[in-house]
Each structure stands twice: as C-alpha cells, then as structure tokens.
Structure 1
Amino acid sequence: MRAGAARAVALAAVVALVGLLPWLSGRDPALALLRARYAEQEPTPEALAAIRADLGLDAGPSGLLGDWFGRLLHGDLGVSWVSGADVLPSVTAGLGVSLSLMGAALAVALLVGALLAVPVLVRGRTTGGTVAAMLASVPEFLLSLTLLVTVGVWLGWLPTSGWAGPAHLVLPALALGVPAGALLGRLVADALPAVLDERWAELWRGAGTGRGRITAAALRRVLPALAGQFGMVAVGLTGGAVAVETVFAVPGIGRTALGAARSQDLPLLQGCVLALLGLGLLAGAAAALVRRRLLGPALREAGLGPPAPRGVRIPPVVPTVLGAVLVVVLGWGLLRDPYAVDVTARLAAPSAAHPLGADALGRDVLARLGHGAASTVGTAVAVTLLSLLVGLALGVLPGVAAGFADVANALPPVLTGLLVAAATGPGTGAAALAVTLVSWPPLAAHAAALVQEARASRFLVAQRAIGAGPLWVWTRHVLPSVAGPVARHAVLRLPGVVLALASLGFLGLGAQPPSPEWGLLLDESADYVERAPVAALAPAVALALLAALAVCLSARGAPPRRGSRPLLPALPLPLARPMSLVRLLSLVRPLSVRRKVRPVAARTD
C-alpha cells in the first residue's frame, strides 16, 4: 500500500516538474520565444507582455500547471516556441522512428543474449563471461562512435547518418542492442548453471528426460526472476536512444528532445520527455506482467529471487594492470597544462612534446585527459556520496523507497539530464544532480535488505527486551551493520557514475567548454577523428578502460544479495517430465514441515 502511494506521488512529482519547466527554467520564456521567432524585433515590454498573455505565462506556477495539464488531457501538447508548429505531430513522428530503432535493437539484443546463453545450454557451464560483462558495461554513445568511425568511415560499409532505408538502421541498432544483449545474455548465462546443478535437474537426467525438456524447464525456472531485469534493459534502450540518435543523426524522439533542450523549445521538450517516460513505464509494467504470468497465482506474492549466479572469474592481475595504466597516464597528464594553446600544433600527431597529440586548438590531449579525469572523478565521488546518504535514509522505509525507486528506474540519466538542464541550464552541477536522482535505488534496496535482516536478529530482540530504546538500537547496532556493506557497494558503482556523467557531457548536458571533462572531450574530438585518430580516440580508450575496470571490480567485490532465497528448493522425488511451478511447490512443502519438526523431536528424545 505504501509502495503504491509512493509510486503515485513520485510519478505526479515528475509530471508536475515537466509541466512547470517554463517557470522552473529561471529565464523569461517570452524573451526566448521572441528571439526564436522574431530575431529582428526589439524585446520591448509591450511585446513581451503580449507573448506572456498569449501563452498564459503570467498566471503563475499553479495557473501554468493547471492550463498545461488541462490541455494534456485533451491531447494538446502545445505549440513549438521555435517553429510555431503543433508539438504533437513532431512527437508522434519522432516516436515512430525511435520505436522502429528500439524494435531492431531489441532483436539484436535477443540474438546476442541467445548466443551468449548457448554455451551454457550445450556444455552446462558459462564461457566468455568476462567479454559479456565488458560489452554490457560499454556506454551506447561510446560504442556508437566506435562503429561510426570503424565500420562507417574507415571501412565505408554502411551509412553513418540519416534515416533513408534499412541500411541506415544497422549501425544504430547494433550500438543500442549489443550492450543490452550482453547484459541479458550474462544474466541468463550466470543463472542457468546453478539451475542445471540443482537436484531436480539431476533427477530428471537420471530418469532419462531429454536435454530439450530440461533446458525448457530451466529457462522457465530462471525467467520469472529475471523479468524485472529485462524491463530495465528496455528502459535503458529509451535512454540510450538519445545518444545513439544524436551520433547517427536519426530523427527520433531522443534527438528531438535533445535539440529542444538546447534551443529552449520547452513545449517540444515537454512532449518528448512525456513520450520517453511513458515508454519506460510501459516497459516496466510489461516486465512485471510477464513475471506475474510466469510465476502463477501461488508464487506471485512470494518475493522470490533468482538463483545465486556464478560470478565471472577474473585474474587479480587484470584489474591491477588496468588501474596501473589509468593511474600512470592520468597522473602524467596532471603534470601538464590543459589550457595552453599552441596554434602551430593543431591536430599534431603524438610526439615528445604531445605524447597523445593535440586537439583542434593545439591543446595537449594528455593534459586535458588527466585534468578531465580529476574533475570527473571528483564530481562522481560527490554524486556517489550523496546517493549513499539517500540510499541509507530511504532504506529504513523499504515500502516507500520501493515506490520511488520504480519511478526512478524508469528515468534514465539522459532523460533526467534533459529535465535538469532545461530547468537550471547545462553544467557540471546539473549533470551531477541528474545522475544522483537515478543512482540511489540499488543502494536503497541493499540497505533495506540489510536493515530488515538486522531488525530480525535475535541480538536486537534481546536488546529491545532489556529496555533499549529505538534510537539506541538504530545508532549503535543497525546503522553500523548496514553502513559498511552499503558504502562498499557504493564504491563499486563509482566507475558507472563516471560513465553516466561522461555520457551527459558528450550530449552537451554536462560540463561546458573549455572544461576538459571526458564526455565533452569525446564530443569535441569526433569532428577530427579522420585527421588525428590518436588524439580523437584517446578519451574513448580511457572510457573503455574505465568500463573494463568497473567490470573487474564488480566481479571481484560485488555485494552479496541479502534476503533472497532460491526460486525453488531441490526436489526429493524423481520426475519423468517437467511440471508446473505450483505443482513443484506442492511437492516441496512437506519437507519444510519436517525441517521445522526435527529439532523439537531431538530435544524430546
């Protein structure tokens, strides 16, 4: 009940934020509209007052929100401040293009996921888990640039921009689908070996059941618990579409939203954000519905989790080497001046004076890479710390946190960045706030599980029995046992926060020139990648190394899943054919009763 109320409140707050963008922006919308439509007209008080009256901007925030919401209920998204055209046709056209791209990307994701899961089904063990994990961690904008440069520019196999035919769909679909498919394949491939080693699978094989039927039953066993993750992948496609459509100049809803944010065309931005938010919520709802259908009525409310996965085995030397390379290169860059301009070294090749070359203004790329890492990592540390505090605070109220988390999970960082940039303007602070707003749910879920476990411990029951107050119990016992594991979890997410900040910088929603922020460096270098490939690809390689390091750290130190239990216990009876989940559970219930009775019988004897 509390989760549903929190979900409704969070969704209403997001919709209200979208409706109040003209008022929250802090700039005079009438002046922006006058400059957009009538660049030659003087911004006199009379002209500005007429525009405000025409748009209803002089009614205050409540009147503005009420008028916008009333028009929204009638399907009217308003009029573009730049073109003067209705917003709804532009949103509909962009949404159609994006849905086509997302459909193709989903097909690629399913194909990649199936290929990664095939070795498990054939050999019964995970292979290539490290490759899958690294592919899943590569940001879509980075993979987009790599495909554009290698396949589109250097090899010339496929077109690099536009939306004129099926050939223009291939590279954007690969850029969106490969990371999503790698994540899906890794989830399934990590969970299947544990399922195939369970008692029921051994009994079925001993009874002569065919491999195909065992495989189908194992997939049926795994998919309900992973359905929520599949929904998150679909939500990720909506956020990744903004960057991919921008790189390949695809006229989809994401590129339209980014253009509207840059030009301060707030009515068009409002329509695009609502469309992207609706896609994310529909994906989450569809995943929840699929999970309910797969589980059936008996297990629907059991709160069951996936089987414990087998982690990716990475030699300790790999993260050590990756970390050493990054530290040496970036430390070397910190000793150099990132803003010194040498016009004679514009786009210079690597040399003793410029080890990684120079950019289009003659600035040293190594210096900008090192100083950009310092600023980006510093911002990421602040974001991670704030997310940790929010996660610990909301972890005490798991019902409320779950409701807000559902809405936060439907908002990719790029979409949140569009909203924050429209309200406050682009910048480092806006990017940090956007990432913070969507990075706390995993930490809150981890904290909630640990708090629930700590509160149920016999030690705290005894403390309360001898008269310890709630404040004493919380500050002396619960918080110390929760803060440490959740803090370590937050540290593991630090590289992912850096990548999220870089993606916003790449789209122009984060740090602004002449800042050496990594995403901004990558955006600036994309224009001269053919003339100076080393200088242009240096930030891309640094981001790729950071993504690989994040995978290594998460694989070696991921926080244990607390409060979860296997989807189905091992079965004691040989079964000749697959059975429904409800029937299987009915066979297991007598064992749970016997486990509870045995200690009592032993004490009686």
Structure 2
Amino acid sequence: MTALSSARAGVLIARAGGLAAVVAVIGLLPWLSGRDPALSVLRARSAEQEPTVEALESVRRELGLDAGPVALFGDWLGGVLRGDLGRSWVDGAEVLPGVLAALGVSLTLMGAALVVALLLAGGLCASTLVRGARGTARGGTGAVAAVLAGLPEFLLATLLLVVLSVWLGWLPPYGWQGPQHLVLPALALGIPAGGVLGRLVDDALPAVFEERWVVLWRSWGCSPAVIGRAAVRRALPAVLPQFGLVAVGLTGGAVAVEVVFAVPGLGRTALGSAESQDLPLLQGSVLALVLLGLVGGVLVAGVRRRMLGPALRDAALSAPPPVRVPAGRLHRVVVAVSAAVPAAVICWGLLGEPLRLNAVARLSPPSWAHPLGTDSLGRDVLARVGHGAAATLAVTLLVCLVSFVVAMAIGFLPGLAEGAAETANAVPPVIAGILVAAIVGPGPVGASIAVALVSWPALASHAAALVQEIRATTHIEALRALGAGPTWILTRHVLPAVAGPVARHAVLRLPGIALALASLGFLGLGAQPPAPEWGLMLAESLPYLERAPWAALAPTAMLLFLATLAVSLSTLPTPPTGDRRAVRHRGRRLVTGGRAYPVRMSGR
C-alpha cells in the first residue's frame, strides 16, 4: 500500500470514527444528560402532571426504558437504519416527516446561499484572474475576501435585518412564505462562505500564473481566456478540500440564520427541540445536520478526484504556496484601531452597573446619562457591554489555554491529532453547542466545553505537523548520532520549537473563540439572563429593533470590531515554522543557533 493510499485510508477511518462517535452521543442523549428519561418525557408531555412513581413507571413501560441505555441505543440505531427516527416526546408525532420537511427548507436555503457564495467568490477572484491571464501586474482582493469571511453569520444576519428590512424596508424580516423571504437568509449564509472561497482561490491564483507552463502557453499564442480557464483548473483541486469545510460551515451557520429570520429549517428545529427537551426530535435533527455536512465533504472530494483524472489521482498535487504580502502601515493601523476602540469602550463601561433596573428609562436613546442608551429593562447598555467583555474575555482565555495544553499533549501523536481534526471539522461549534447543552444544560460552562471541543483539534493538527517536521531536521538527527537521549531531545529542542508557533496560533484564534462563544450566547446555549454577554444582549434586543435599534447596535459594533481584529490577525504574515538552525559539534557541546548545549556522547 502506497503512502497516499494509507493517508486516504486514515482519512476515511477518521471520518468513520468521528461519525460513529457523534452517532453514539446522539443515540445516548437521554442518558448522557444525567436526567431520568422518563421524567423528561413526562415533563415534555405535561408540565403540570406530578412525577409520581406510577406515572414514571408507566412512561418507562411505554417506551421500553427499563431495557437500559445499551439495548435502547441498539433499537434506536436499528430504527435509524430502517428509516424510523421514532416519535416526538412532546406531541407523539413521527419524527422522520418533520425532519424531512425541515431538511427541505434547509437545503433550499443552503442551495441559494451556495449560489451567492459562488457568485461572490467569482467576483472577488475576477481581478486577479484577468490580470494574471494577461500577464499584467496582480491586484488581488484578499483583504476584502478576508473581511467578508470573518463575519459571523448571526452578526451579518442581524445587520442585514436592521439595514435592509427595518431601516429601508426593502425585504420582509421574518417568515418563509415566498422567494422574497429567501433573499436575506441566503445573503447572510452566502457572503461569509463566498469570502472564504474567494480568498482561497485568490491566494492560489498568483502563484499558478508564475509557473513555467503559463509562459510557454503565452509564447504559443494562447488567449488570456484559455490561460485563465487552465489556471482555475490548476488551482481548484488543491483548494477543493477546504470547500468541504465551507459546506460544514453552512450547516452550522444555518442554525443562527434560521433563528434570526424565523425560517422553519433543520437548525431551528434542532434548537427548539433542545430547548423543549424533545430528545427524539433533537436526535433526528442533529443527525441530519451532521450527515448533511459529511455528505457535502464527500461530494467535494468526489469532484476533486474527477477534476484530477485517473493519471493524477494518486499524485501529490498541491497548489503552490500563496504569495505573502508583508503587513503594511494600514494593516497595523486596522489592528490597533480594532483593539483600541473596544478597549476604551470596555474600560468606560466597567465604571457602570450592568444589572441596575430602571423601568422609567426603558429603551431610552443615547444620552449623557446613558451614552449607548438603555435596553428593554432600563439597564445601561454601555455598562453591560463593558462587564460582558470582561466575562467573555476570561472565558475565552480559559478555553484557549485548555485547547493549547490539550493540543500540545495530542500533537505528539500525529495519527490521533489528524483523526481528531477530521472529527472536529465534521461538527460545527453550533452543533457541538446543541449537543453539550442537551447533556449539561445551557450555560457558560456548556458553551465553553462546546467551543473547546472544536478548537483544540486544529491546534493539535498544527502541533503534529511541526513535530514531524522538526524530528526530521538535520540537527535532530545529529543529536541522535551524538548520543542524546529521547527525553533530552524532546524537552530541550522539539517541545520549545513546537510550543512557540502553536502558542502564537492559539493567540490568533482568541477573537474567533470569543465570536463562537457569542454565537452560542445569541442562540441561548451560552450565558443565561441577566448575564451581560454580547451574544445574549444582541438576542434580547432583536424584538425591539424598530423601536430601539441602538440596543442592538452596541453589541453588534463590538462584535464587528472583534471580527475585524480576528481577520487582521489571521492575515498577518507568519515566520516559517520548524527549527532550521545550523548545527555544529564542538567537543561535548552542540552549538545550534548560537547557543551551546551539553550532549551525552554514546559510549562515554
């Protein structure tokens, strides 16, 4: 078996293992939650009925809960394989028809969003493609694409709702009655996806146009159109695997978008069933969402193999490295402003009291007493923004630290790290948040666990790649030849060389982690009222958009600054990884990078 075949088999095993783990969690939800399933059923059917022993025993006999979790999980899995997802605990209706109806709505929305994403990606790449095909100076739009890609779906949905529906009145804000109701949700889902796709292709095209075959084709007299089509075909196979992540992102982003616009899709169904503890409906909805993301990834892999053709399917075809542009003065200014403005607002807000109620000042506009206005309960928005940032920052730092520690431990097991990354890619943070909320309940702890579960695998994959690279360097081989022990090499060379880049990677992910926590808070899966959390503040202000838009604009502006900071940090050029320092031996001391280390000589 070739190395590539082994790698492909490893990816398939990782995906199968990830799907099996998710299916097991979904199937065992009634018992993982730590609550009596019979009590959950009784409360779902009638909140007023007393949970007497006779009533609970009747529910257990009806549903067969006495058989235990293993037997019932087998029955549930067998039903899934037969196309039977069981019956709702709330109304007793069959789950499968409801899931299929919601799936149809979600597929329609995702199809429209994909059209928007492809059109936007084509527009972002047009300038680079045309100029590269003509052989003129390149003028990429990577910065614009990065900004669009960094916008969270729930935040963009809120902005579109405020501007295009509330202020301008061009499109309906809620519902699913006709094509006009599809426009805003499709834009909210498609614009970030289009930014991701456009940035990937726009980064890959300049290096493609520098390859020798382009010069040869121009000398033969090929037209720019022919060269442009060939360049796109050359760049796409290497970036297509990332398109699968976009498909997974659409499934996760659809949950928030469907909630904002009251779309009766699969994500909204899953969230509603989690809130009502309707576990059969939650199991079916989440399983459909996960399978939808996996099917998208498989389809993208099939398209890539089709584009490569039989001759190149086993070849290690990869795109040339993107052309890195050093960070300019404007870039540094954007980073500074994105950090300084929120810091000033937060420090000012920390001087106020976020929980003081004032019924007389409900929904007051900005004034000297309340610079950012008040919310529906008369609480000062500025104070809530400041104190919410302090709580969010503390949780974000803790999640980032835990992710870094776990990644460093798992990173020295490359096979496990790659499998974990594949599993995490199949489960968006929102889906993880729904599952964790169903187990431990909604709250900051559950939201932190959910975000951490999908944050550390990316860092672990980075650490694993660095470990493999550093272990193969010349100076590590020289240390082994000179008799240095594995523990000494690990602690003195490999670990310090890996920890720095992975720590920088973790720091760059801080704004993204904060945005993920805010999205879970927006959906009601994170911090609960009256906590001053930005996502929760945004969700609480949505019903009052027409009367008091400032209550929503304050957390929206802070989240926009956070998204801009995340994009700016992610586009900063990074130094090359790995330890490529020169190595020379002087007596019993190894000199590397200008520093001398004692070496245990073999045979001494």
Structure 1 length-normalised TM: 0.90
The correspondence for 1:308, drawn from 295, 317, 321, is: 321
> What one-letter code is carried by the residue in structure 1 that aligns with 2:58?
A
Task: Quote the Cα distance in structure 2 between the aligned partners of 1:401 and 1:442.
Answer: 8
Q: What's the CA shift for 1:16?
A: 0.7
Q: What's the CA shift for 1:491?
A: 0.5
Task: Quote the Cα distance in structure 2 between the aligned partners of 1:132 and 1:3.
Answer: 29
Match of 1:356 in 2: 372
Task: Quote the Cα distance in structure 1 between the aligned partners of 2:495 and 2:578.
Answer: 16
Match of 2:414 in 1: 398
1:185-196 alignment, distance < 5 Å = 185-196=198-209
CA contact (8 A) 2:466 2:577 kept: no
Match of 1:221 in 2: 234
CA contact (8 A) 2:444 2:526 kept: yes
The correspondence for 2:504, drawn from 469, 475, 488, is: 488
Task: Quote the Cα distance in structure 1 between the aligned partners of 2:345 and 2:289.
Answer: 39
Match of 1:413 in 2: 429
Match of 1:68 in 2: 76
1:272-311 alignment, distance < 5 Å = 272-311=285-324
1:102-181 alignment, distance < 5 Å = 102-124=110-132, 125-181=138-194
Task: Quote the Cα distance in structure 2 between the aligned partners of 1:476 and 1:6.
Answer: 32
1:338-377 alignment, distance < 5 Å = 338-377=354-393
The correspondence for 1:521, drawn from 517, 520, 537, is: 537
1:556 match: secondary structure: coil
Q: What's the CA shift for 1:558?
A: 4.4
The correspondence for 2:405, drawn from 389, 412, 435, is: 389
Task: Quote the Cα distance in structure 1 between the aligned partners of 2:317 and 2:386.
Answer: 45
Match of 1:243 in 2: 256
Task: Quote the Cα distance in structure 1 between the aligned partners of 2:267 and 2:578.
Answer: 37
Q: What's the CA shift for 1:311?
A: 4.2
Q: What's the CA shift for 1:395?
A: 2.0
Match of 1:57 in 2: 65
Task: Quote the Cα distance in structure 1 between the aligned partners of 2:472 and 2:552.
Answer: 55
> What one-letter code is carried by the residue in structure 2 that aligns with 1:458?
T
CA contact (8 A) 2:358 2:379 kept: yes
| Shift in alpha-carbon separation, 1:495–1:40, aligned structure 2, 3 A | closer
> What one-letter code is carried by the residue in structure 2 that aligns with 1:158?
L
Deviations 1:276-312 (A, max 9, x none): 0101111111222222232334543444433222346
> What one-letter code is carried by the residue in structure 2 that aligns with 1:392?
M
Q: Report whether the alignment pairs 1:422 with 2:422.
A: no
**How many residues get paired?**
563
Task: Quote the Cα distance in structure 1 between the aligned partners of 2:372 and 2:574.
Answer: 34
Q: Report whether the alignment pairs 1:91 with 2:99.
A: yes
Q: What's the CA shift for 1:46?
A: 0.4
Task: Quote the Cα distance in structure 2 between the aligned partners of 1:513 and 1:303.
Answer: 52
1:394-543 alignment, distance < 5 Å = 394-543=410-559
Task: Quote the Cα distance in structure 1 between the aligned partners of 2:474 and 2:22.
Answer: 41
Task: Quote the Cα distance in structure 2 between the aligned partners of 1:561 and 1:223.
Answer: 25
Structure with bigger RCO (C-alpha 8 Å, 6+ apart): 1
Task: Quote the Cα distance in structure 1 between the aligned partners of 2:20 and 2:271.
Answer: 23
CA contact (8 A) 1:330 1:373 kept: yes
Structure 2 length-normalised TM: 0.90
2:572 match: secondary structure: helix
Deviations 1:74-115 (A, max 9, x none): 211111011110000000000011001100100000000001
Q: Single out whichever of 536-545 and 115-124 deviates more from structure 2.
A: 115-124
Q: Single out whichever of 187-196 and 36-45 deviates more from structure 2.
A: 36-45
Match of 1:81 in 2: 89
Deviations 1:394-435 (A, max 9, x none): 222222222222121011000011100001100101111111
Structure 1 gaps of 5+ residues are 564-605
Deviations 1:346-393 (A, max 9, x none): 111111211111111111111110111111121111111222222222
| Shift in alpha-carbon separation, 1:155–1:309, aligned structure 2, 3 A | same
Task: Quote the Cα distance in structure 2 between the aligned partners of 1:455 and 1:300.
Answer: 29
CA contact (8 A) 2:162 2:545 kept: yes
CA contact (8 A) 1:4 1:403 kept: no
Task: Quote the Cα distance in structure 2 between the aligned partners of 1:209 and 1:13.
Answer: 52
Q: Single out whichever of 458-467 and 477-486 deviates more from structure 2.
A: 458-467
> What one-letter code is carried by the residue in structure 1 that aligns with 2:104?
G
Q: What's the CA shift for 1:41?
A: 3.0
The correspondence for 1:37, drawn from 32, 45, 52, is: 45
CA contact (8 A) 1:172 1:248 kept: yes
Q: What's the CA shift for 1:42?
A: 2.5
Match of 1:203 in 2: 216
Q: Single out whichever of 150-159 and 292-301 deviates more from structure 2.
A: 292-301
Task: Quote the Cα distance in structure 1 between the aligned partners of 2:167 and 2:433.
Answer: 32
1:533-572 alignment, distance < 5 Å = 533-558=549-574, 560=576
Q: What's the CA shift for 1:255?
A: 0.5
Task: Quote the Cα distance in structure 1 between the aligned partners of 2:126 and 2:14.
Answer: 41
> What one-letter code is carried by the residue in structure 1 that aligns with 2:120?
V
CA contact (8 A) 1:489 1:559 kept: no
CA contact (8 A) 1:417 1:435 kept: yes
Deviations 1:214-262 (A, max 9, x none): 1111111110110011111111100111011111111111110010001
Deviations 1:326-360 (A, max 9, x none): 11111111122111222222111111211111111
Task: Quote the Cα distance in structure 1 between the aligned partners of 2:518 and 2:341.
Answer: 20
1:440 match: secondary structure: helix
Task: Quote the Cα distance in structure 1 between the aligned partners of 2:249 and 2:71.
Answer: 34
Q: What's the CA shift for 1:465?
A: 1.9
Q: What's the CA shift for 1:3?
A: 4.9
> What one-letter code is carried by the residue in structure 2 that aligns with 1:456?
A
Task: Quote the Cα distance in structure 2 between the aligned partners of 1:452 and 1:42.
Answer: 60
Q: What's the CA shift for 1:52?
A: 1.3
Match of 1:579 in 2: none
Task: Quote the Cα distance in structure 1 between the aligned partners of 2:575 and 2:85.
Answer: 45
Task: Quote the Cα distance in structure 2 between the aligned partners of 1:441 and 1:490.
Answer: 11
CA contact (8 A) 1:420 1:434 kept: yes
> What one-letter code is carried by the residue in structure 1 that aligns with 2:93?
A
> What one-letter code is carried by the residue in structure 1 that aligns with 2:541?
S
Match of 2:24 in 1: 16
Task: Quote the Cα distance in structure 1 between the aligned partners of 2:390 and 2:229.
Answer: 50
Task: Quote the Cα distance in structure 2 between the aligned partners of 1:420 and 1:456.
Answer: 40
**Stretches of 4+ aligned residues off by more than 6 angstroms:** none
Identity level (%): 65
Task: Quote the Cα distance in structure 1 between the aligned partners of 2:391 and 2:439.
Answer: 23
CA contact (8 A) 2:324 2:573 kept: no
> What one-letter code is carried by the residue in structure 2 that aligns with 1:191?
A
Task: Quote the Cα distance in structure 1 between the aligned partners of 2:399 and 2:485.
Answer: 33
> What one-letter code is carried by the residue in structure 2 that aligns with 1:507?
L
> What one-letter code is carried by the residue in structure 2 that aligns with 1:354?
H
1:88 match: secondary structure: helix
2:157 match: secondary structure: helix
> What one-letter code is carried by the residue in structure 2 that aligns with 1:530?
E
Match of 1:582 in 2: none
Structure 2 gaps of 5+ residues are 1-8, 133-137, 580-604
